[in-house]
Amino acid sequence: EVQLLESGGGLVQPGGSLRLSCAASGFTFSSYAMSWVRQAPGKGLEWVSAISGTGGNTYYADSVNGRFTISRDNSKNTLYLQMNSLRAEDTAVYYCAKDPHNNGWSYYYFDYWGQGTLVTVSS
Amino acid sequence: DIQMTQSPSSLSASVGDRVTITCRASQGITNYLAWYQQKPGKVPKLLIYAASTLQSGVPSRFSGSGSGTDFTLTISSLQPEDVATYYCQKYNSAPPTFGPGTKVDIK
């Protein structure tokens, strides 16, 4: 059974940093691209970032490019999102999401989602 | 970037009704279109990809159609467990973009 478990969310001041983790199990992690998708309270879904199966290719939304860094440790079956220079508008539930195809490339749609971790940026 | 719109933004229908949600892309995306269901307080669930391919385990009352810029999600017979917000998403290229959502409830 595919499981994705996010952690690392919390309250942070504007300008601060936070690192999210997503522990994956139930599939060959290194064979699949992964993404982070966020949802502000009461709002819709916004794709944030993606990474290929090997970790060699990364992609970012314009809204986070230069501030967030996606990475993965395939030996630990874990996906990360390093978030720097956080802003109030980054407040959201952050989901990690799995790509459906096992060739390691991002197809940018998602067949499994974690439960999410809430990031609140406020002073 | 390609923008996605959905209509209506919300709807209320009776159990057993046929429900149709429309999604429109600002540019052609061939059939690179997915639909998700998000029940209140829950995680999004993939319903349909490639515009019309039903994800494994999804009830057959859900169907998708369309190509290019115009797409539809149809629920052939609305059930109480279908109360949710439905999102379309284009994925022909980065950035993948979601529509604003359509909230469906029971009349």
Q: What secondary structure, in 3-state letters, does A20-34 show?
A: EEEEEECCCHHHCCE
Do A47 and B96 count as a contact with CB atoms less than 8 A apart? Answer: yes
What are the DSSP E strand ranges found in A8-104? Answer: 10-12, 18-25, 34-39, 45-51, 58-60, 68-73, 78-83, 92-98
- The two three-digit tokens of residue A64, written as one number: 């986070």
Interchain CB distance below 8 Å, A61 and B34: no
A110–B44 C-beta distance less than 8 A: yes
Q: What percent of chain A has pLDDT over 90?
A: 94
Condensed to tens digits (0 to 9), the pLDDT of residues B25-77 reads 999 999 999 999 999 999 999 999 999 999 999 999 999 999 999 999 999 99
**What was the pLDDT predicted at B23?**
98
Residue-wise pLDDT tens digits, A17-51: 999 999 999 999 999 999 999 999 999 999 999 99
- Judged on CB neighbours under 10 Å (0-12, 13-18, 19+), B16 is exposed
Cβ under 8 Å to B: A residues 67-106: 95, 100, 106
pLDDT at A91 over 90: yes
List chain A residues with CB under 8 Å of B99: 44
Query: Which residues on chain B are in Cβ contact (under 8 Å) with A44?
Result: 87, 98-101
- Average pLDDT of span B10-38: 97
Residue B3 has pLDDT above 90, yes or no: yes
Please give the pLDDT value at position A106. 83
Contact B71, B65 (CB under 8 A): yes
Report d(CA A44, CA B98) in Å as an integer.
8
**pLDDT for the residue A30:** 97
For residues A79-91, average pLDDT? 98
Q: Is the pLDDT of residue B1 over 90?
A: no
The pair of three-digit structure tokens given for residue A27, joined into one six-digit string: 């599939």
**Alpha-carbon gap: A107 to the closest alpha carbon of chain B (Å):** 7
Q: What is the pLDDT of residue A61?
A: 97
* Mean per-residue pLDDT of chain A: 97
Q: How far apart, in whole angstroms, are the C-alpha atoms of residue A44 and residue A117?
A: 16
The whole-number pLDDT of residue B90 equals 97
